[in-house]
Amino acid sequence: MEIKKLEFKKQSSTALTDQNLRKALRNTTDRFRASRKRAYDELEGFEDLRNRAREIKKETIENLPIYLGMLEGNVIKTGGKVHWAQDGEEACRIIVEIARENGVRSVVKSKSMATEEIELNHALEEAGIKAVETDLGEYIIQLAKERPSHIIAPAIHKSKDDISRLFSEKLSIPYYTEPEQLTRVARERLRSEFLSADMGVSGVNFAVAETGTIVVVENEGNARLSTTVPRVHVAVMGIEKVIPRYGDLSIFLPVLVRSATGQKISTYVSFITGPKRKSDMDGPEEFHLVIVDNGRAKILASEETRESLYCIRCGACLNICPVYRQVGGHSYGWVYSGPIGAIITPQLLGAEKAPELPFASSLCGACKDVCPVKIDFPKVLLELRKRVVEGENKDGRGGEAGLLERLLVRLWRISMESKTAYSLLSTLSYFLQFPWLSKNRKLSSLPYPFSEWTNDRDFPAVAKIPFRKRWKEISKI
Amino acid sequence: MRQQNQSKKKVSLFITCLVDNFFPQVGESMVKVLRKLGVEVDFPVDQTCCGQPAFNSGFQHDAKALAKRFLSIFQDDNCYVVCPSGSCTTMVKIFYRELLKEESRGLELADRLASRTYEFSAFLTNVLHVEDVGASYSGKVTYHDSCHLLRELRIRDEPRKLIKSVKGIDFVEMNLHDACCGFGGTFSIMFPGVSISMLEEKIISIVESGADTIVSTDMGCLMHIEGAMSRRKIPVKVMHIAELLASEL
Amino acid sequence: MNKSSREKILTRIRTGLYGSTGVHQQKEITRKSTGISAEPTMEKSILVNQFVEELTKVSGNAKIVESEDAVKDFIMSFVEERGISSFAIWKSELIQRLEIGDDLQSKGLKLAHPDKKEEMSNAGIGITEADFAIADTGTIVLIAGEKQPRTVSLIPPIHLAIVKSSLILRNINDLFAMLVNLISEKNSTEESTSCLTFITGPSRTADIELNLTLGVHGPRELFVLILAQ
């Protein structure tokens, strides 16, 4: 699948004009933030848990081949099958193949960012296999033929009215207005899908190397149904989802859930180890684990940005991010949004596909403060900005920065490297500003690119006597 | 720091390019406050910019050149370096080490500089151990946390203590005090729409607090906030903390 | 399975992490993990009360019963009150000993078999016995097995679980301390469970404007009978 160059600036500009979206974003992010804060404050030692979670992630990533090998071995031991996919296309091919071998006509899916990333639904449909999203939010998104706009709450950009209209049109039902009614309709429709599906596809929140167990965290029960009722269960995970030990879950589960929704624990957590045992009366007969690289291994090569792979997809950084709060998930152009999208998308797709994303942050650092594994977002963003400007090579040429920008920076640097040039620039600016200076000594309509500032904001006037000149007087006192 | 505690403390002013060229009165206020507290103040005249704009925009080669220049200017280990900006202090205190981590000499200088560099309000409270500088100001004041000061330098209470100790002040905390104002350097020009939406939320928060004066530690944030307030004719006064602390001193 | 993709991915990871030589001195992987501590047990009644409180907070129903007979009485009158005509049930030792399934059948309720999807989807209640519970989150822990099918707690609209008060643990750390031992004994054998599940309250969603709605896919109601011991 060919991904076009992502255009954050263009898409975010459109998002900013959507008042309903902005209202929804404020409401959602406020509530998620408040819940997370409550959950954080009430748990003694949360800070220690975060530190420990980060340590374990670091340990895992630095020894990834060993833990992935261990995971593979243990999945096989318990009767499961393991598949490795270098990219999205290969992952889809593998899953379609599993479906064909089993004569699968329909697939139920529970929420998974990895399958969004590889565009599995598209691949299944092309192969003539029906794929139904079963998480309520994902179901809404699938009916609307859209992409999730939030890692945890995929349909938050849709109002209740939007959903009422969507359901009534697509499902040929009356215009229900109550969330209870809408939820009941989804339950009924999806229940029959669960019972008739031959294959269930799930994501993986954690995969435990020492036991071959995959852990799925959810509130609705659709992941339990998807992984229990159909005859075949396929779980899809990125290479970074492995954790070393079963006991590590006592750290990761509370940290994930409290950061994501502010719950102490989610309604359901399933720990799945292989297919059903022979004597079991239910559960899938086949269990397949698809381990996907899709650009991740490449991230490991840079020590500066390696920690991007520590992410456990809780969505806390989205909820705290002032940029996400204004523009929503779709502005980020791909499946991952908010701060994590800004750092992971350019690395997975290549900087040339998403040159704007590393800059789509004011570097305020709020994300770093809430991240359960303490990813240093500003540091990673700065490194990625450098790559955009300098290119991947160390010689500092060949990046995405335009000629004009390079020229301006060069001129600026020359003036900053000498006191005389600096003073000259300052004096020059003082005189140059006069044509634009308004009565209240503000600059209110500067030419491009400064107009990007002055269209909505005044800019201060350059002082007649800068501090360094005043110092001559002051120093004598 | 080789300096003795008993002897007179010496400070090299690190005046940011914003303050130097647009808000020189902030630098003067700093000098006034520091001198009042018995500090010997110097201003290394060769200083220009610390390189942060280039660093934040991805031009690390250019930023590195300016970082080295800065290090050579602020070499005197007997002086504290004090700056009227949490953001520029962060650049020198934290990001220089990042930028120069592959150069042993540069890294050593950056480490030494980092250990004696302070943002103005942190210097007053944490080095001089002063909360009440003796200033007076009558008004209802709220405080905006600058992102770098708060989250990179972890300074939250220090400026608040200083503000609350000013005679005649009615301090009020605003709702979104620690939310970014949307400045972010070139971010405000690259993504003006997003930047302004962030700023508008900030301004609503300021107005709702009922304050007549907004104080912060960074002129970047303040010129951004003031830029929109003056355009919208919102009569809230914008003040750098140094200006506030120099009031009626 | 595509062997070459496996090798290519692992090589890419090794090269990324350890440079082109791909050599890495792996330190021994310790089995000892995390912050798990087997801390002193608490007064059971405190744990029971905490469990009830936490489960109630997440819209679950908890009831403390003083005897095994009372468990049975509760279930019998519950199905009558609700007019339930079909049920699914685990065959744990306690449930079998109390002959709950037999009595429900003799009352005229139809037994749904977990290997028959249609029967299960018509069952009005699923009855299980929790293997553990966690006081500080109000969680019950179910371990699937031959006599403990997964769908009983999942498909019917009402889930009723019995838990012995002695099996209520303090928190998730205590539970994992226990599970880690249990799992290392049974790991990768036919004995090990294919599925262990934490259940904390009835199924819920907040996907429509963050409105909390119960019973989206799993049971709408959860009852936990705590058998005081």
pLDDT in tens, A28-56: 999 999 999 999 999 889 999 999 999 99
DSSP H helical segments within A87-202, as ranges? 88-101, 113-117, 120-126, 136-143, 160-170, 179-196
Sequence-separated (6 or more) residues with CB below 8 Å from residue B93: B113, B114, B117, B153
Mean pLDDT is lowest, of A148-152, B148-152, C29-33, for C29-33
Mean pLDDT of C172-183: 90
Contacts of C134 in chain A (CB under 8 A): 265
Q: Which of A368, A413, A417, A454 would you mutate first to test chain B, the one with the most B CBs within 10 A?
A: A413
DSSP H or E segment with residue B238: strand B237-240
Distance from CA of B95 to the nearest CA of A (A): 9
Mean pLDDT of C204-224: 95
pLDDT surpasses 60 at C35: no
Condensed to tens digits (0 to 9), the pLDDT of residues C54-96 reads 999 999 999 999 999 999 999 999 999 999 999 999 999 999 9
Report the chain C residue with the minimal C-alpha distance to residue A69: C10
Contact A268 C199 (CB under 8 A): yes
C180 and A CB contact within 8 Å: yes
Distance from CA of A355 to the nearest CA of C (A): 23
Contact between residue A181 and residue C213 where contact means Cβ atoms under 8 Å apart: no
B21 and A CB contact within 8 Å: yes
Contact A413 B57 (CB under 8 A): no
Condensed to tens digits (0 to 9), the pLDDT of residues B208-246 reads 999 999 999 999 999 999 999 999 999 999 999 999 999
Sequence-separated (6 or more) residues with CB below 8 Å from residue B53: A412, B185, B186
pLDDT surpasses 80 at B2: no
Residue B20: count of CB within 10 angstroms of its CB:
24
Condensed to tens digits (0 to 9), the pLDDT of residues A74-103 reads 999 999 999 999 999 999 999 999 999 999
Distance between CA atoms of A231 and A341, rounded to whole angstroms? Answer: 35
The reported pLDDT for the residue numbered A398 is: 57
Distance between CA atoms of A460 and A452, rounded to whole angstroms? Answer: 15
Distance from CA of A51 to the nearest CA of B (A): 17
Distance between CA atoms of A18 and A161, rounded to whole angstroms? Answer: 15
A409 and B CB contact within 8 Å: yes
pLDDT surpasses 80 at C42: no
Angle between helices A46-62 and A249-260 (to 10 degrees): 120
The reported pLDDT for the residue numbered C181 is: 83
**Nearest Cβ partner for C146 among A52, A280, A299:** A280
Contacts of C54 in chain A (CB under 8 A): 264
- Positions in chain A short of pLDDT 70: 1, 392-400
Condensed to tens digits (0 to 9), the pLDDT of residues C128-156 reads 999 999 999 999 999 999 999 999 999 99
Query: What is the CA angle B198-B199-B201, rounded to 5?
Result: 70
Angle between helices A467-474 and B24-36 (to 10 degrees): 30
DSSP C61-85: EEEEESSHHHHHHHHHHHHHHHT--
The residue ranking higher by pLDDT, A151 or C182, is: A151
Contact A327 B194 (CB under 8 A): yes
Tell which A residues from 372 to 401 touch B, by Cβ distance under 8 Å. 378-379, 382, 385-390, 396, 399, 401
The reported pLDDT for the residue numbered C41 is: 60
Q: Which chains have at least 3 CB atom pairs separated by less than 8 Å from chain B?
A: A
The reported pLDDT for the residue numbered C114 is: 96
Report the chain A residue with the minimal C-alpha distance to residue B61: A396
Report CA Rg, chain C.
Answer: 22
Contact C13 A136 (CB under 8 A): no
Distance between CA atoms of A26 and A325, rounded to whole angstroms? Answer: 6
Distance from CA of A366 to the nearest CA of C (A): 23
The reported pLDDT for the residue numbered A367 is: 98
Contacts of C119 in chain A (CB under 8 A): none
Instruction: Give chain C's mean pLDDT.
Output: 90
Condensed to tens digits (0 to 9), the pLDDT of residues A342-383 reads 999 999 999 889 999 999 999 999 999 999 999 999 999 999
Helices H / strands E in chain C, number of each: 7, 12
pLDDT surpasses 60 at C25: no
Condensed to tens digits (0 to 9), the pLDDT of residues B85-143 reads 999 999 999 999 999 999 999 999 999 999 999 999 999 999 999 999 999 999 999 99
Contact A466 B43 (CB under 8 A): no
Q: Per-residue confidence at C2, pLDDT binned at 50, 70, 90? A: low
- Strand C125-129, strand C132-134: pairing: unpaired
Q: Per-residue confidence at C44, pLDDT binned at 50, 70, 90? A: confident
The reported pLDDT for the residue numbered A4 is: 87
Q: Per-residue confidence at B4, pLDDT binned at 50, 70, 90? A: very low
